[in-house]
Structure 1
Amino acid sequence: MATHTTFQFRRRMRPHRLALATLAACLGSGLTAPVCAQDAVQTVTISGRNSANAASVAGFGDIPVSRSPFSASVITTRQLADAGIGGLADITRLDAGITDAYNAPGYWGQLAVRGFTLENRSNYRRDGLPINAETVLPQANKQSLEVLKGTSGLQAGVSSPGGLVNLVVKRPTGTVRQLTLGWADDASLGAAIDLGDRSGAFGWRLNAAYDHLQPPTDASRGHSRLLALAVDAQVTPGLLVEAEIESSRQVQPSTPGFSVLGDRVPDAGASDPRTNLNQQPWRLPVVMAGRTGSLRLTQTLGKDLQLSLHAMRQRLDSDDRIAFPSGCSAEERFDRYCSDGTFDLYDFRSEGERRTTDALDVALSGRALALGLAHQFTAGLLFSRHEARFNRQAFNYVGTGRIGALVVTPADPSLTDENTDRDEKSTELRLQDLVVLTPEMSAWIGLRHSRLDRRSERTDGSRPIAYEQSFTTPWLALSHAVGPNGMAYASWGRGVETEVAPNRSRYANAGEALPALQSRQIEFGYKHRTALLDWTVAAFDIRRPTWSDLGPCDSGADGCVRAIDGSARHRGIEAEVEWRAGAWNLRGSAMALKARREGAADAAINGLRPTNVPASSLKVQAAYNVAYVPGLALLGFVTHEGRRMVLPDNSLDTPGWTRLDLALRYAQRLGSRQVVWRAGIDNVANARAWKEAPFQFGHAYLYPLQPRSLHVSAQMDL
């Protein structure tokens, strides 16, 4: 098998089969087989036909997305490389249903799906097992990212209703020799290596990467590194053993956001997107280190039956530190900066943070005939444990800062506040069944029962809280084949989130376990796939209860109660189309979203939009393969998002914005070798806009579009 080496200069700103004839008839017509990518010298495609890929996070095995009754995206590393994407946060450029939700450079990213912010402690998976995403998630040893959209109660015991993100680890595939070098504005440099081989029943894959990070943002220089090894062995004809380990570390100052100035949103065109308000001489970088290891055993028990055991441990160690701008005490407005561009500045430090996640999943899957119907089923039991340990923290006022001018203040690293340690144990039983009712119609049935045991206390032993909860989250879908190329479906499902009332003295129900938030989603969709054209459309309706503080919460009395107060309802339409004709490959996705508060005790809140959620978004990618220069492709990426609300009362908003990125890819043959060159300009027009407006920690923040930047790449197969 040919080996290959890759030289890539990339932007670092933040890339068994069907055994039953009846089941094959339902899912067949050739639609269950993935379509192989064509040779890069001949053509370049934008999506890599991701509709033909399976989204393993959904739990229905090898059924491709194009024949599944849910919305999902499978984003491959090739897509990320062509778009110049080096971090998880930038996948928002490729799918209209995914948007930013507080993506501070130099810090861990947060995403929103269908307008709901994904919870970093519960909405992320790694090869299907739960992980904590309160860290930087390295991409160099990942082969794809899967994004499942909508209520995810079938796939996760506790999660916010937007969906799930699953990182798929690179596994041994054969002989691989890949070297990656990188450069981008402003002098970011990187090197990575991807090696692998297979000898008989044993295979291995090694990934290592190092990056010197120097993005255009001021005072944000840092570095990151990754070392990962995956091995597998076919011990017996029916037993496959897979193991892998990953170690990563990133050291980089984080970038706080701008904010509302008094009663106005500052002009993005007059604000320098390179400005970093975290420039005090005493500021320290954020350090995020992670170690993850997993072991998976897959035993074939018969022609149509398989048993798997999958265990994983993740250990995260962090030092969270920043010169943090927050509020304006001079005007007694603590959710924004002052009218004159000044702000209160705090010395925040939380060092020695440790987060550990353990997971063990036991699953039995197979195919069978029962009651005259074909079934594809999975029964599984997932045990997981999350532990978070912290030290005392600093959050000390050190003076006043100003936008546009560095005002040096003294440091105050005194550890003046307690933190909160957390423990959670979860046992989840799941059952899934794909039932073929007729050659055209199938029923998709899922049920998950979860039992939680949660405990927390402050780092000084005060405010202990312990509670247990159990709940069941069902999911049901019907799909109907429409001719040889189409499928219509309808689905309904539930999800769950849990919380306790804050343990401050003003709450009458302080420390009590609150009822679980039972979200639900209804979705109707249609998918169509041919050799030249793929298109999908889905309409969804998600309703999730919301928490509010009710009663005399501002008077200092103890009658304040944390309780369910109405709901958030997100209704929308998503559409996606991909067209392939001759030298052209075009892909576009769009979402129109109506997100509103309903049924709140305060009537003034009802009908308002949530903050930082665009009402519309459009993402377009295009590739043109130049016939006169074989191997040359011109690429274009258009991202548009509508206006966002900045404040909960909807009194201020940010305008919509559009960004254009251009790139080219040239693949040439040098004998038996192939070299692929890439070059690109991000934000070609150097557009100035507020990319997102997160309202976090009771404060409004604004993050700008990054300025125009360059990236170049070269990829060689040996």
Structure 2
Amino acid sequence: MSAFPSRHKLIALAVACAFAPAAFAQTADKSDNVLPEVVVTSAPADGIARNASVGGFSEAPLRETPASISVITLEQMQERSIRTATDAVKYDASVQNSYNAVGLSDWFAIRGFTLDMGSNYRKDGMVILAHSAIPMENKERLEILKGLAGLQAGIASSGGILNYVTRRPTDTPLRSVTFEVRERGSIYGAIDLGGRSDNGVFGYRINAAAEDTKSYVQGSNGDRKFVSGAFDWRLSSRALLSVDMDYQHKSQLTVPGFQLLGLDQRLPTSVSGKTMLNNQTWSLPVTDDSNNLGVKFEYELNDNWRTTLQANKFELRRDDAVALSSGCTTPGEILNFGYCANGDFGLYDLRRDNDKRSVMTTQAMLQGKFATGSIGHELTTGLSTLNRRDNFADYLFNPTVGGLQGNIYTTPQRDLVLQPTNPVGLRRKEEEQSFFVQDVMALNEQFKLHAGARYTKLKRVQFNSGGGLIRTTDDDYVLPNVALVYSPSKTLSFYASASQGLEPGGEVPSGLPNAESVLDPYKSKQLEFGVKADISPDLSVSAALFQIKRHNEYAHASTNDATAAIDAYLTAGEQVNRGIEFAAQGRATRNLMLGASFVALQAKAEGTGDPDIEGKRIGNVPKFKSAVYMDYALPQMPAVKLNATWIYSTSKVFAPNSQIASLDKKVDGYHVLNLGARYATKFGNTATTFRFGVDNVFNKFYWGDTSNAFGGYLIPGAPRVFRLSTQFDF
């Protein structure tokens, strides 16, 4: 299904359904079987989440879930004018950017493991693809599960799961409009409409947004359009049908990162976070068109048992393009990874058009409560399927005329006549079937045993650009999960868990044979011990101690020389991440809300047999990171609320491959302070909220991301950025 017709069908259906309440009110069944009004569950008025669905198979209290979970609520996102997931996850120290270049997508690592773009990102528990930016306008909250998710998700990278929970229809009419201006004149507008028919049978939620983007990096301009609809029908007192759909178009010139300088591989200096290396006259934007359609049917069999049927389809079409800065071609200083000592670099036309990726997931689930003697059971069992298709071309990788170079300080213009991109073909198809079961057993008033397992069967076939077979995977896996929770009181819980996950397999880097194909899946293992406590009705704290082991995958160079090229992508030994997390959130006083997140993490390669990486720190993983934030309502002026966020990270290693890892290049840590304010008032009957914010108040330059993606790049953090918005609630 192409993006163009899907877009128009989606918009037409959203508009039609938005005006349907009256019709449904006239025709709906008015018998006693109609469901009573259901209140949409979200964070309470204080904006603090106390439940999440990402830790299991249904929404459950955070304190009772034996896993480390954080939730960013809609109110928290509104108060700080958060428009992207990259901005949202700043409040969880366990989450780290992973090649979050301006104009691209929101890619992350959790607990030191880079998330897989095709399996670790979920929408209402169902797989979506993170190759494009995920819109936030129709999201009620962002749930972050830290650690293995084999039982919940099957195939997923070790770091954890990001689950985007969609906004649902409201029981009272909702009419909200937001306008915002940002750095260099970026203009943004959004609407949020919700309500129900008179008899409550039909509900709707419509979100739409448009943005004219002028990034803080001059030249990285673009535009974005988004529309979504979420609808539900109360078919009877026990049956609920929900449908949600969205479409997004996004086009923007992306901002490449930096490489190291010279044969001695020095960090670039005297550069700015506003530097645009993709500023050639022939530079083209990255353009994404994505469609999403989800359907969910819930039926209560009786007071103790219910069943859920769910399906979701996500489609993406992408044109990828960048004037790529990479390597050095100066005689005597030729580098495959790294710029020349004076800042010169090789300049390439890197493009491919018409990527088409889709994933279809389904799930059927039965949940119920019963007792065997004195032991209470909460049983979940179900089946799920996944069907994925990736169609893409090999990248066109052409140097500028005569191999002329660019420079990070002068950014000269170079001539190039654009050539046609390579043909698109089917490169990967994947089918996954799973059976899962979990039983939460209440052994007595203090102890609960969580025991479960997922059986997953995977068929994966990968092809090269000519249609030739690269690799076939046909295997099955059993992923057990067990946890014991001890609750000496209603406000305190201790837990211990052991689990296995299923890694999707690492992706072969560009420049090697069979680039962008993935290795076979394999198991990972995790042990975790944690404590969660409600210090007061308004303040909660948690801590977790964990160890995760998985295969160590890395790009290898044959010699310990900065001029050496990567010659293989290897699996050797284990990557072992050990750490401790702490989090606190709640209301310290009537007017002061506080939050804090800390993580101390050791990430090393062990048992590799390669002296260049054995025992070395894993790249892009700080030893310590923290995020502390507050919201304060002025007692004398309750309409005014101030907020502040302080983010701190220690140094990280820049290790795109083994020979650079052996050089032990460290990137300094950083402090960043963000401030904001909100003023709420009324104009007539219209509630109006003004919000102002400034990020990176002291305009500090820092390397926020030292990713090993695409051969290894350093991404500067954003400089000082201002924003001003107005929200009208009618």
Q: How does the TM-score come out when normalised to structure 1?
A: 0.88
The alpha-carbon deviation at position 561 of structure 1 amounts to 8.6
Q: Alignment RMSD, CA only?
A: 2.6
**Residue 107 in 1 paired to residue 109 in 2?**
no
Q: Which of 558, 566, 580 matches 2:573?
A: 566
SS of the residue corresponding to residue 154 of structure 1 reads: helix
Q: Which amino acid aligns with 1:186?
A: R
Shift of 1:501: 9.8
Aligned residues: 668
| Structure 1 residue aligned with 2:690 | 677
The aligned counterpart of 1:91 is 88
Q: Please name the residue that 2:138 is paired with.
A: 141
Report the equivalent of 2:678. Answer: 665
Describe the superposition over 1:398-448 as per-residue Cα deviations: whole angstroms up to 9, x where unpaired.
Answer: 131111212222225435767771100000111111110110110111211
Deviation at 1:609, TM superposition (A): 0.5
Deviation at 1:618, TM superposition (A): 0.7
Please identify, of 152-161 and 347-356, the stretch whose mean Cα deviation from structure 2 is larger.
Answer: 152-161
In 2, distance between residues paired with 1:104 and 1:491? 36
Is 2:466 aligned against 1:460? yes
Are the counterparts in 2 of residues 506 and 553 from structure 1 also a CA contact under 8 Å? no
What is the CA distance between 1:565 and its match in structure 2? 1.2
SS at match of 1:85: coil
In 2, Cα distance between equivalents of 1:624 and 1:482: 34
Residue 245 of structure 1 deviates from its aligned partner by: 1.3
For 2:617, the aligned partner's letter is R
Q: Kindly indicate whether the alpha-carbon contact (under 8 Å) linking 2:69 and 2:144 is maintained by their aligned counterparts in 1.
A: yes
Number of the residue aligned with 1:629: 637
Distance between the aligned counterparts of 1:512 and 1:583, measured in 2?
53
Aligned to 2:721: 709
- C-alpha change, 1:693 and 1:486, in structure 2 (3 Å) is same
**CA-CA distance at 1:253 after TM superposition:** 0.6
Whole-angstrom distance in 1 between the partners of 2:569 and 2:646: 43
CA contact (8 A) 2:112 2:621 kept: yes
**Bigger Cα displacement from structure 2, 665-674 vs 364-373:** 665-674
Contact 1:259 1:265 in 2 (8 A): no
- Equivalent residue number for residue 20 of structure 2: none
SS at match of 1:523: strand
2:175 matched to which residue of 1? 177
**Deviation per CA, 1:128-177, whole angstroms, max 9, x where unpaired?**
11111111111111111111000111122211100001111111122110
Report the AA paired with residue 56 of structure 2: G
Moved more, 417-426 or 512-521: 512-521
- Mind listing any 5+ residue stretches in structure 1 that lack a counterpart? 1-32, 39-44, 555-559
Contact 2:351–2:421 (Cα < 8 Å) also in 1: no
CA distance in 2: counterparts of 1:155 and 1:613, whole angstroms: 26
Match of 1:610 in 2: 618
Pairing 1:598–2:598 present: no
Instruction: Tell me the equivalent position of 1:121.
Output: 118
1:426-441 aligned at under 5 Å gives the runs 426-441=432-447
Alignment partner of 1:343 is 2:313: no
Change (3 A) 1:570 1:650: farther
1:181-580 matches, within 5 Å, as 181-199=179-197, 200=199, 201-262=201-262, 263-266=264-267, 270-330=270-330, 331-398=333-400, 399-414=404-419, 421-499=427-505, 516-529=521-534, 530-547=536-553, 564-579=571-586, 580=588
C-alpha contact 2:42 2:140 (8 A) present in aligned 1? no
- Check conservation: 2:55, 2:65, Cα contact below 8 A: no
Residue identity in the other structure for 1:184: R
Distance 2:210 2:458 in 1: 39
Per-residue deviation at 1:370? Answer: 2.4
CA distance in 2, matches of 1:550, 1:180: 49
Task: Give structure 1 regions of 4+ aligned residues with deviation exceeding 3 angstroms.
Answer: 33-38, 264-268, 412-420, 498-507, 509-516, 547-554, 560-564, 669-673
Percent identical residues: 31
Q: Deviations over 1:235-280 (max 9, x none)?
A: 1222111111111110101110022112254455x21211110001
- Output the amino acid matched with 1:491: S
* Residues 208 and 454 of structure 1: CA distance in aligned 2, closer, same or farther (over 3 Å): same
Query: Do the aligned partners of 2:85 and 2:134 also contact (CA within 8 Å) in 1?
Result: yes
Q: Report the AA paired with residue 595 of structure 1.
A: A
Asked which structure has the greater RCO (Cα within 8 Å, sep 6+), the reply is 1
Provide closer, same or farther for how the CA distance between residues 421 and 413 of structure 1 changes in structure 2, counting only shifts above 3 A: farther
Letter matched to residue 337 of structure 2: D
Q: Distance in 2 between matches of 1:603 and 1:546?
A: 14
Deviation at 1:498, TM superposition (A): 4.2
- Distance change >3 Å, CA 257–CA 545, structure 1 → 2: same
What SS is found at the alignment partner of 1:278?
coil
Q: Distance in 2 between matches of 1:483 and 1:671?
A: 49
Answer with 519-528 or 686-695: which moved more: 686-695
- Three-state SS of the structure 2 residue aligned to 1:649 is helix
Q: Distance in 2 between matches of 1:259 and 1:513?
A: 25
- Inter-partner Cα distance in structure 1 for 2:521 and 2:338: 32
What are the superposed Cα offsets for residues 548-605 of structure 1, whole Å, 9 maximum, x if unpaired? 6899899xxxxx9976411000001100123522322211111100111100111342
**Is 1:116–1:161's contact at 8 Å kept on the other side of the alignment?**
yes
Distance 1:440 1:341 in 2: 63
Kept after mapping to 1: 8 A contact 2:180/2:726: no
User: Cα gap change, 1:86/1:510 in structure 2, threshold over 3 Å: closer, same or farther?
Assistant: closer
Q: Supply the distance in 2 between the matched residues of 1:319 and 1:98 (Cα, whole angstroms).
A: 28
2:673 is aligned with what amino acid?
Answer: L
Range with greater deviation from structure 2 (67-76 or 494-503): 494-503
More moved, 515-524 vs 315-324 = 515-524
CA contact (8 A) 1:239 1:299 kept: yes
Report the Cα offset of residue 547 of structure 1. 3.5
Provide Cα deviations, 1:79-131, integer angstroms capped at 9, x if missing partner. Answer: 12222321111223211111111101101121010111101111111111111
In structure 1, give the amino acid aligned to 2:544: A
SS of alignment partner, residue 224 of structure 2: strand
Distance 2:322 2:254 in 1: 7
Q: Matched residues in 1 for 2:308 and 2:477: separation? A: 25
